[in-house]
Amino acid sequence: MTFWDHLDELRKALFRSVILFLVLMVVIFLNKTLVFEKIIFAPADSDFIIFRLLKNFSEPFKLDLINIELSSQFFTHISVSATLALIFAVPFILHQLWTFIKPGLYEKERRAINISFAFAAVLFFLGVLVGYFFVFPLTVRFLGTYQVSELVENQISLKSYISMFTRLILIMGLVFEMPALVLILSRIKILSKRVMKRYRKHAFVSLVIIAAIITPSGDAFTLFVVSAPLYLLYEFSVLICRDFD
């Protein structure tokens, strides 16, 4: 294939991805009640599943959100629809990317990366689920109810809540790609299990720094909640990584 043929294939892959993204965005946009009341705002109440499991360790709470900007609710509706559409479209986008680069690889490379791409899609959604059911609720519970004094009442804005939600969910989805990246590097003999074990301490410090950079807020609690899964992912990456001569 010529350069222009490759460019045309890339254009087709991008076009298919954009079409699916727009369809998903419209579907999500039209299901406003389900998306916001049943999913996005669910962690703002102590009736959420993680708080029911921890009911002996946490007091009942409910965050009352406010809106202080005239157009905020409408644009929040659009931005959330776009974000969720992107999340659901990730497997298809990865597949389109794979079909584009596959012809340029050797058979051995195809087998290795084919598994890694499927693994990456599973890990992304696993990260999103961990972010939604664990990281985000605990972060909201801590920050939303924390007070320096009883004289200061928390009034959480819709914009602040949605910003925390979308960033944490996407961040957790992306950082869960670490094992997939390690698997690819291991299969093409760039990274080995021996190296990962040798630099485990350095990795721990680096992951804490990365967690501090990517967390939406600078508090120690959120830093811990994000960095703990990161380190567990590193240890899992060590397990699936291979040594080579």
Residue 172: inside a domain:
yes
The average pLDDT across 231-242 equals 86
Residue 178: inside a domain:
yes
Q: What is the pLDDT of residues 147-188, one digit of tens each?
A: 888 888 888 999 999 998 998 888 888 888 888 888 878 877
Residue 115's pLDDT band (boundaries 50, 70, 90)?
A: confident
Q: Which has the higher per-residue pLDDT, 101 or 135?
A: 135
C-alpha distances out from residue 36 to 30, 169, 176, Å: 11, 15, 25
Q: Domain of residue 125: give its range.
A: 3-240
Residue 158's pLDDT is 93
Point out which residues pair with 157 in neighbouring strands: 66
C-alpha distances out from residue 34 to 26, 30, 42, 68, 177, Å: 14, 9, 10, 23, 28
DSSP 8-state symbol, 187: H
Residue 36's pLDDT band (boundaries 50, 70, 90)?
A: very high
Question: Residue 98: left (phi > 0), alpha (psi -120 to 50), or beta?
Answer: alpha
C-alpha distances out from residue 126 to 129, 134, 153, 169, 236, Å: 5, 11, 35, 11, 14
Task: Name the least confident of 84-88, 99-103, 107-111, 197-201.
Answer: 107-111
- Given a cut of 90, is residue 51 above it in pLDDT? no
- Given a cut of 90, is residue 96 above it in pLDDT? no
Q: Which two tokens stand for residue 164?
A: 């925390």
Residue 43: inside a domain:
yes
Between β-strands 65-66 and 156-157, what pairing exists: parallel, antiparallel or unpaired?
Answer: parallel
- Given a cut of 60, is residue 245 above it in pLDDT? no
- Given a cut of 80, is residue 3 above it in pLDDT? no
Residue written as token pair 């760039």: 190
Task: Name the least confident of 23-27, 81-85, 96-100, 167-171.
Answer: 96-100
Q: What is the pLDDT of residues 16-30, one digit of tens each?
A: 999 999 999 999 999
- Whole-angstrom distance, CA of residue 110 vs CA of residue 113: 5
Residue 181: inside a domain:
yes
Residue 48: inside a domain:
yes
- Given a cut of 60, is residue 133 above it in pLDDT? yes
The average pLDDT across 45-59 equals 81
- Whole-angstrom distance, CA of residue 107 vs CA of residue 243: 21
The average pLDDT across 66-74 equals 91
Point out which residues pair with 65 in neighbouring strands: 156
Residue 219's pLDDT is 64
| Cα angle, residue 107 at apex, residues 103 and 110 outer, rounded to 5° | 65
Residue 120: inside a domain:
yes
Taking the CB of residue 230, how many other CB atoms lie within 10 A of it? 20
- Given a cut of 80, is residue 218 above it in pLDDT? no
Name the domain count of the chain.
1
Residue 245: inside a domain:
no
Residue 83: inside a domain:
yes
